[in-house]
Amino acid sequence: FANPLMAQLADDRLCASFIADGIHIPRDVLRVFIRAKQPERCLLVTDGTAASHAAPGRYRLAGMTIERSPDGSVRVPGGTTLAGSSLTLDAAVRNVVAWGIADADAALRMASAAPTALLAPALAAHSIALADSEVEWSTDLRPMRVKAGPIAISAGSALNRTQ
């Protein structure tokens, strides 16, 4: 039974990235994958589009029309293949917690600290430094304030520069 996906899940040298929208990967499959990889080698990601956190309807992506369905899936109108997602990263965090796949701390690490740690060696090799950043979360895992370098955004407010 040769299955490259299973071999990759079993390889502790590899990290895995997951779009936790219940569309790209069914919830139960995601649970198995994260248990197999262990949360410290899992990254929550999104292939968000203009349809992210938007109402169902048609949007533009790279010169083509895409359509967000009521179930949150994004496809070329009339097509069956996914054309991105409507998932935001904070929603991915809430999803894995609500689905009982990870607790809040593990979900937040999969969305932030794990990707940063994975990218750090490559960034350092190219003398790229990330701006100091922080996110303040509400108890229901919604971002209340996001700061990246001198730029800060608070929920319900306009863009603020801290310098």
Each residue of 117-136: pLDDT tens digit? 999 999 999 999 888 889 99
In the chain the first and final C-alpha atoms are separated, in Å, by 58
Query: pTM, whole model, 2 decimals?
Result: 0.88
Same domain assignment for residues 73 and 139: no
* Active site (catalytic) residues: 47
Same domain assignment for residues 10 and 32: yes
Confidence tier at 58 by pLDDT (50, 70, 90): very high
Q: How many domains does the chain have?
A: 2
User: What average pLDDT does the segment 123-150 reach?
Assistant: 92
Tell me which of 155 and 69 has the higher pLDDT. Answer: 69
pLDDT tens string 85-123:
999 999 999 999 999 999 999 999 999 999 999 999 999
Same domain assignment for residues 27 and 101: yes
Same domain assignment for residues 116 and 48: yes
Amino acid 1: pLDDT: 67
The boundaries of the domain holding residue 121 are 4-128
Amino acid 163: pLDDT: 46
Token representation of residue 19: 């779009």
Same domain assignment for residues 97 and 79: yes
Token representation of residue 82: 């996914």
CATH code of residue 68: 3.20.20.140
